[in-house]
């Protein structure tokens, strides 16, 4: 169930990010939330609420712009599924491994 935008941010911040990833800083930006690596400050993902419950569009940073993370159109999923997707897929963390 959707709550306030602050509830969504709190859920993102409370997610148990894998220790090897180093965690994220969450910033409100451009109609959503941008996740930055605590280790490097590099961009990890952007989550944009769709207005349909807690569903979010998942974007990743590539070639100096936010884009879809897969070969198909938009990736839209419930927030918990999106957080697991970001936490476990290595390509989100390309800028979170080494300082840019």
Q: Report pLDDT for 56.
A: 96
Please tell me the distance from the alpha carbon of residue 24 to that of residue 5, in angstroms, as a whole number.
18
Nearest to 10 by CA among 83, 75, 61: 83
Please tell me the distance from the alpha carbon of residue 85 to that of residue 64, in angstroms, as a whole number.
21
Query: What pLDDT digit, counting tens, does each position of 19-45 carry?
Result: 888 889 999 988 899 999 998 888 999
Residues facing 55 on adjacent strands = 78
pLDDT band of residue 94 (cuts 50, 70, 90) is confident
Residue 75 has pLDDT above 50, yes or no: yes
pTM for this predicted structure: 0.84
Q: Report pLDDT for 76.
A: 93
């Amino acid at each position: 169930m959707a709550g306030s935008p602050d509830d969504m941010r709190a859920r993102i911040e409370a997610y148990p990010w894998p220790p090897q990833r180093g965690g994220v800083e969450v910033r409100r930006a451009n109609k959503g939330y941008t996740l930055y690596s605590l280790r490097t400050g590099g961009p990890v993902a952007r989550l944009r609420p769709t207005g349909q419950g807690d569903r979010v569009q998942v974007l990743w940073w590539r070639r100096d712009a936010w884009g879809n993370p897969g070969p198909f159109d938009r990736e839209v999923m419930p927030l918990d599924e999106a957080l697991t997707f970001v936490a476990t897929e290595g390509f989100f963390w390309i800028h979170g491994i080494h300082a840019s």
